[in-house]
Structure 1
């Protein structure tokens, strides 16, 4: 096994070992008189610090997983969230850079030995770094300012290795995201890795989005200028990262960002036949002309017919309280397995709170609301937990569901007030005529 892989595995393995050691220490504190709640909160906070510190040191699948978790930070109870909220935010856009020599070697392999002739200026210092590549600012030979995205050498091996290790430790992450099933998330990330590693496929996705949103008044997608299997060159766009608006934005900024993100999420399948499927704040910014700048198109859901009609129908039936029709629709579309005994009212009680944003003219997305939903469906003693375990999510809906949940998590981090009903009425098939 290569030395780097051994080192990465050792760092990931340190997470459960560290957690076990803290659990033993916590037992001692219980004996010393501290309450169970106090000890539990302290253990969770300290474990969280280690989990995200380790993920932050890694590239590949570990960081990709950390980014996927970061959008669900809003679901974590406030008393546990603070110790690692900053670490989660860093995972959205930061990773250790590759050396200049390694970066130049990768450019030569992908763009040819004369790659420097394509640029009139190239900044060797990364402008940003993410899970499987880093971005450099440069000037293309025709004078355009461009973003050059370069994949880390060995990223494919690191991704698969990390995800195998993380699947072994998946239970450890569950307390940080109540209501979210970690194993399916990891399986889905694994399934998407091959596509994301091919930057030519990502370039094709970005071209489709750029064409669909060309000259759009609300969304800016940078055009692709050149692409290779492990390098892409696109137009450079400036803006205020969503992470900064989440951290320190004024209320109008938050609401504006939330509205643009919601419009982009629901309109993309109808306009581009694709759904941007990597919803974390590092992939979005507000440009100087107040548009939503969108980057990183490695992960997409292909929806040539737009968003599935049953989703809109289910939302509308939930809002209207039509429980019998809702249950029948869910049976017909495979959300309830054949022969499964389940009460219509229990299904309505489970789904209706998720439909709340579409039930009113404007909805205030808050961390408390998301925490309430996570606690509700994650409470092993509650009826909603039992109902949720009885339902089935058909494979074709898995990615759509996770992306929608991720986008909702960002809206709650923004604390945004959004007219979601109007957006859904316009873009979600089945909602207006259910």
Structure 2
């Protein structure tokens, strides 16, 4: 079977038409807004209404798309804790609907991919195989099965034509990236889409994902806090791994107990900071759908399509910068920021101003316990995004070196999930144990 002919559940023509509706809708709303301003409505009232209408259209389009739109939607969803609830709630609903209602591949296509990837006798490798998918994602779907040795397994199968459809969606979405500023003020979505495009080739090769999963599984084998299912078999477009039962973080975010929220939050932080030291890898997709609390209380991790290779662990300057900022050493912080490329050599920046900009973001690790909330993240987002504030002006003068780009995005995304969880715990203790340079 060739990958040149897309057999995605959504036709490329209908996807392109839906994406093309975004700028047309924006132009119509701008005209409507001008008319309302001329009729005497206040600027704030008109702006709020246009913002709401733009958000509603984005939700509607995202809710009808798969491929790149789902990938971008999932990536942005970890930041929704920074969005006012009246917009965040429809956004969450659109993504849930997108995942639950994604039409599956035809059974004959599933069987054809398995035959191509695992061989014509693929059925002999399973005792049972459920033709109905258990879950759908942006580039593939998961089936539950029983391996020939009796183990329950998850079979992840890539959609034929996924590469073509995914790149087409992301190319289209990059043209309309500015519209997402309505939902995420201060965030430039274009670099995020560019990063997704750059990583698509890697994510489409399930052999690379299987290797990353093997690395995590070996590093966390028999770990009392983190559970990583072992890979049973793999091919470029199929991964068979042990089935991991548990409560998805998305459900804990919606209805979880205080104990579940706090435990999941601390364990997510532990995975984020310990994996680079233990496995030389960073899990780079902190979407709630990729994690679950398993019955024995461990945090289960089930998707390794996006990982960053950090063979030397977390960069030591990060821990040192955090420690000095907490100690109020403004001059040392600025000197290190310059040395690492966060401040351009020509930039004239006040050391105390930089410290005052960074310090509120470090509240979660300033004391032994911290409670992550949506309100806290919304406050930080507003402080950085409001062009009238000094913090926003100073933030625009800072630079993010390429070597830190992915680490930064994953860290912010993980914080977003902690805020969605409403998690409380000893996050400083996690850094003291696992982040190089933090303890001096």
TM tier relative to shorter chain: over 0.9
- Report the aligned-residue RMSD: 1.8
Please point out which of 2, 24, 33 is paired with 1:17.
24
2:330, 2:354 within 8 Å by CA — same for their partners in 1? yes
Q: Give 5+ residue unaligned stretches, structure 2.
A: none
* SS state at 1:390 partner: coil
Please point out which of 370, 374, 387 is paired with 1:367.
374
Residue 408 of structure 1 corresponds to which residue in structure 2? 415
Report deviation, 1:418. Answer: 1.9
In structure 2, the CA distance between the partners of 1:260 and 1:113, relative to structure 1 (3 Å rule), is: same
Please point out which of 402, 417, 426 is paired with 1:419.
426
Query: TM-score, normalised on structure 2?
Result: 0.94
User: Quick one: distance in 2 between partners of 1:324 and 1:45?
Assistant: 43
Report deviation, 1:407. Answer: 0.3
Residue 94 of structure 2 corresponds to which residue in structure 1? 87
Q: Give 5+ residue unaligned stretches, structure 1.
A: none
Report deviation, 1:398. Answer: 0.2
In structure 2, the CA distance between the partners of 1:32 and 1:85, relative to structure 1 (3 Å rule), is: farther
In structure 2, the CA distance between the partners of 1:94 and 1:223, relative to structure 1 (3 Å rule), is: farther
1:60, 1:156 within 8 Å by CA — same for their partners in 2? no
| Higher alpha-carbon deviation: 45-54 or 68-77 | 45-54
User: Quick one: distance in 1 between partners of 2:363 and 2:233?
Assistant: 44
1:365, 1:412 within 8 Å by CA — same for their partners in 2? yes
User: Quick one: distance in 2 between partners of 1:391 and 1:90?
Assistant: 38
Please point out which of 403, 406, 411 is paired with 1:399.
406
In structure 2, the CA distance between the partners of 1:298 and 1:127, relative to structure 1 (3 Å rule), is: same
Residue 280 of structure 1 corresponds to which residue in structure 2? 287
Please point out which of 358, 362, 365 is paired with 1:351.
358
Report deviation, 1:94. Answer: 6.2
Residue 236 of structure 1 corresponds to which residue in structure 2? 243
Q: Name the count of aligned residue pairs.
A: 433
Deviations 1:14-60 (A, max 9, x none): 12222333343444455566544444333333322331332233222
Please point out which of 306, 313, 318 is paired with 1:299.
306
2:104, 2:136 within 8 Å by CA — same for their partners in 1? yes
User: Quick one: distance in 1 between partners of 2:431 and 2:101?
Assistant: 33
* SS state at 2:282 partner: strand
1:125-274 alignment, distance < 5 Å? 125-274=132-281
User: Quick one: distance in 2 between partners of 1:303 and 1:5?
Assistant: 37
1:56, 1:95 within 8 Å by CA — same for their partners in 2? no
* SS state at 1:217 partner: coil
Is 1:41 aligned with 2:41? no
2:244, 2:302 within 8 Å by CA — same for their partners in 1? no
User: Quick one: distance in 2 between partners of 1:53 and 1:98?
Assistant: 23
Deviations 1:126-164 (A, max 9, x none): 100011110000111111110000001111011111111
* SS state at 1:95 partner: coil
1:57, 1:96 within 8 Å by CA — same for their partners in 2? no
User: Quick one: distance in 2 between partners of 1:132 and 1:51?
Assistant: 21
Query: TM-score, normalised on structure 1?
Result: 0.95
* SS state at 2:173 partner: helix
User: Quick one: distance in 2 between partners of 1:289 and 1:333?
Assistant: 42
2:144, 2:152 within 8 Å by CA — same for their partners in 1? yes
1:53-64 alignment, distance < 5 Å? 53-64=60-71
Is 1:122 aligned with 2:129? yes
Deviations 1:400-433 (A, max 9, x none): 0000000000000011112111101111111111
Please point out which of 333, 340, 355 is paired with 2:347.
340
User: Quick one: distance in 2 between partners of 1:378 and 1:267?
Assistant: 31
User: Quick one: distance in 2 between partners of 1:20 and 1:291?
Assistant: 49
| Higher alpha-carbon deviation: 96-105 or 347-356 | 96-105
Deviations 1:94-152 (A, max 9, x none): 63322212222211211122211211111111100011110000111111110000001
* SS state at 2:396 partner: helix
| Higher alpha-carbon deviation: 72-81 or 206-215 | 72-81
* SS state at 1:194 partner: helix
1:89, 1:243 within 8 Å by CA — same for their partners in 2? no
In structure 2, the CA distance between the partners of 1:402 and 1:93, relative to structure 1 (3 Å rule), is: farther
